[in-house]
Amino acid sequence: MTLLSVNLNAVAQLRNRRDLPWPSVVGLARVALDAGASGITIHPRPDERHIRRTDVFELSELLRDEYPAAEFNIEGYPSTEFIALINQVNPQQVTLVPDSPEQATSDHGWDFRGKGNYLTSLVQLLKAPGRRISLFCDPEAGADGVAAAKATGADRIELYTGPYGACYADPDKAEYELAALAETARAARRVGLGVNAGHDLTLANLPAFQAAVPGVDEVSIGHGLTADALLMGFAAAVRAYCDLLGDQARRS
């Protein structure tokens, strides 16, 4: 079973097109969790172009008060402000990504060997009881890369699946990307790291990903799920992903 964490960045970005409170990030988090998602993922950026600081606290309150079994995963670049926010909210999982504030979205993993000391100090700073630390990881990181990731003290890696997701019209390239993801996932498990995955995963490409990369603990899906929700409704889209993943965390 692979757990589903619903990324709400796209919902927040749609809301931010107008100075109005809808679509409600908290309301759709509730819909996602009631439909069976095991957790919620957000990436609060400094410019608040999608998730706002107020969303972070409101979602934290929702999960704490109404869904204590659900997981809150907060992604972000480990700036001083981000670390302070994490310590205020205390989510169950923190996913560190190496992107700069001006990037449209995360598009590469950490250089684990080159940033080893830097990441080690951050992981140790963010470690807390009941809190998992995950590091964004390129698909081709391989054995050497994940060994360096493990040395930081992190608990998991999150495989960056964007290059695979971009291969929707190129099956040969998709096969190549899946092989790289599978090798890095195997190497991670050999050294005792859990494996998450995320970026451009969809109902169409998840089956091949699951077959090639078994044993993934959690996937974070936002853009594809939100696009499907435009056609089938948010709750139905979440249920479709849960059914595909085998995530049976129904909370209806």
Could you give the residue numbers annotated as active site? 43, 75, 199
Rounded to whole angstroms, the Cα distance separating 88 from 216 reads 29
Amino acid letter, residue 220: S
Rounded to whole angstroms, the Cα distance separating 250 from 232 reads 19
Rounded to whole angstroms, the Cα distance separating 211 from 206 reads 9
| Preceding peptide of 78 cis, ω within 30° | no
Say if CB 93 and CB 135 are below 8 A apart. Answer: no
Q: What is the DSSP letter of 144?
A: H
